[in-house]
Amino acid sequence: QVQLVESGGGLVQAGGSLRLSCAASGRTDRWYGMGWFRQAPGKEREFVAGSTWRGSKTGYIDSVKGRFTISRDNAKNTAYLQMNSLVPEDTAVYYCAATSIVYSGVRTGSDEYAYWGQGTQVTVSS
């Protein structure tokens, strides 16, 4: 199995930046596609950003494109989400996730990810 642990969340002012980290352990040879999701109070979990196993393909929802950047270092078994120009609408619990299958493209559905972290809170104040 693969275990994922997020870190780097916190409280920031609008316009600020945060970098979330996702450390993987266990059978990291099974760590393939990478995704970041978020869930705000009263809302469903939504896809934010994702990358393929080799990181050659990335995808973002329109609301974060140009502000967020997903990256990964397979040698260090760590993935990242750099978040810049944060706005209050970004407030949510952020989860990292990994697929157990190699896909040719970025996956955006929660049910396509087998492994999940515990989540880290990001709060953006105005």
> pLDDT of 9-19, one tens digit each?
999 999 999 99
Distances from the Cα of 20 to the Cαs of 3, 7, 65, 92, 105, in angstroms?
16, 6, 16, 13, 23
Of 99, 97, 93, nearest to 122 by C-alpha is 93
Cβ-based neighbours of 44, under 8 Å, separated by 6 or more = none
pLDDT tens digits for range 32-89: 899 999 999 999 999 999 998 877 899 999 999 999 999 988 889 899 999 999 999 9
